Amino acid sequence: MCSATFSQTTIIRDNTIEKMVKEVSPDSLKYYITSLVAMGTRNTLSTQKDSKRGIGAARRWILNKFTQFAASSNGRLTGFIDTTTLFPDKKRIDTTIVLGNVVATLKGTDPADDRIFIISGHLDNMRTNVMDRTGDAPGANDDGSGSAAVLECARVMSKHPFPATIIFVTVSGEEQGLLGAYYMADKARKENLNIEAVLNNDIMGSNNSSGTNIIANNKVRVFSEGIPFYELDKNAKMIRQLGLENDGKSRQLARYVKETGERYVDNIDVVMVYRNDRFLRGGDHTPYVENGYAAVRITEMNENYYHQHQDVRKENGIQYGDLIDFVDFEYLRKNTAVNLSVLASLASAPSKPQDLKIDVTRLSNSSDLYWKAPKSGKVKGYYILVRETTSPVWQKKIFTSQTSATLPYSKDNYFFAVQSVNDNNNEGLPELPGIGKN
């Protein structure tokens, strides 16, 4: 058994990522949302033929933006509209339509790296009646804000090379039952794509809540499931035995979003919510979660229900409707920058350490961990992460350049994970040890 030399490390920002974060512009975000709102409605059932109005015009406009960004990507960014035909389902689809997700892929530069990171927003929107496809529905915040974040990340990031692949997507059919995200996630599972993280951005640009006087633009929520939905029957026994009910892939991703977002973006607290989603509402991360991928929902801290899923109107002095006047573009800038810092860090970092094991075959007050180098990426070393079993976040980060460690912490009292780190201090997703010996 070899014992590593440890040092507590001060975590510093990667200059390149810091510069990218600074490029995120409230003016760009405003321009995207203004352009989307100008299409009148983006209901999934709305016209696809009109050049200026409806879901067809909206998805062509987004594709056109991706194509513009592609020009300065050195041939790495390619966009297309991924379509599928949907038939009446007696629910929220009452006529045969061609559903289209607008997808832009920023191809990774390392052929050995098959990891994919996804940022998603939804292009479609709704009025009070989800089947109303003709009346105006601005959808500035739901989900013009998430769509704008996707576009802005694509604009800034596509100029830079990353070893892993990033997919920027605005889906359709969210309000009709997460249809675009199910189409994409089911296809990914069939093709066995190595999607390591999905950031679903939905309703992220308004700073105030209905029914209270709360106004806050310095907090954003990240929702993640607790006990993993996927293959729970196979894993329940192990989760129970090891106490891993708070350590699924999506929860790990939420911790990563909090740590990395707060490292790169000033004046924002990322608040983890230990739930897959809010009450009475759904989101596009769920189809990925159901297919076994790590996926979280990023959403504003306070929601205003006068402005969501409401026909634009005034009643008893209250303005209803999802109007652009209610978007706080400085707040949206910070929330977009949180996404960018996470995507850029993950796609730059080496992949996870392989075959990570913790030895539990003897009684001892120290803990032995073993692992192998990651499949892709050059490592400077590894951070061993340590936290008490009741702590929501990792409490210690111990650097080692070796691939095993004996920690002076009891395996009974702490959780451990290991993440790969490169020369620019980009950290990969933490991996939890399985039970085993060297």
What residues line the site for Zn ion (CB under 5 A)?
142-143, 202
Compare residues 124 and 196 and give the one whose CB is closer to Zn ion: 124
**Least CB distance to Zn ion at residue 193 (A):** 24
**Least CB distance to Zn ion at residue 182 (A):** 15
Nearest to 344 by CA among 154, 188, 122, 203: 154
Query: What is the distance, to the nearest Å, from the Cα of residue 228 to the centroid of all Cα atoms in its chain?
Result: 17
Compare residues 202 and 225 and give the one whose CB is closer to Zn ion: 202
**Least CB distance to Zn ion at residue 137 (A):** 12
d(CA 300, CA 29): 16
Identify the residue whose tokens are 């109007």.
323
Classify residue 8 as exposed, middle or buried by CB count within 10 Å of its CB (0-12, 13-18, 19+).
exposed
**Least CB distance to Zn ion at residue 120 (A):** 11
Could you tell me the sign of the dihedral formed by the alpha carbons of 115, 198, 107, 26, in that order? negative
Among left, alpha and beta (phi > 0; psi -120 to 50; other), residue 419 is beta
**Least CB distance to Zn ion at residue 38 (A):** 19
Compare residues 102 and 349 and give the one whose CB is closer to Zn ion: 102
**Least CB distance to Zn ion at residue 55 (A):** 15
**Least CB distance to Zn ion at residue 308 (A):** 8
Classify residue 297 as exposed, middle or buried by CB count within 10 Å of its CB (0-12, 13-18, 19+).
buried
Residue 121: strand, helix, or coil? strand
Compare residues 143 and 247 and give the one whose CB is closer to Zn ion: 143
Compare residues 170 and 400 and give the one whose CB is closer to Zn ion: 170
All residues at 6 or more sequence positions from 109 whose CB lies less than 8 Å from its CB, including other chains: 76, 161, 162, 163
Compare residues 220 and 405 and give the one whose CB is closer to Zn ion: 220
Compare residues 141 and 351 and give the one whose CB is closer to Zn ion: 141
Q: Which two tokens stand for residue 367?
A: 């803990």
Which amino acid is it at 155?
R
d(CA 122, CA 131): 17
**Least CB distance to Zn ion at residue 203 (A):** 6
The alpha carbons of the chain give a radius of gyration, in whole angstroms, of 22
Compare residues 196 and 202 and give the one whose CB is closer to Zn ion: 202
d(CA 352, CA 334): 28
Identify the residue whose tokens are 């920027």.
168
Compare residues 135 and 282 and give the one whose CB is closer to Zn ion: 282
Nearest to 187 by CA among 101, 107, 108: 101
**Least CB distance to Zn ion at residue 179 (A):** 13
Residues forming a β-bridge with 284: none
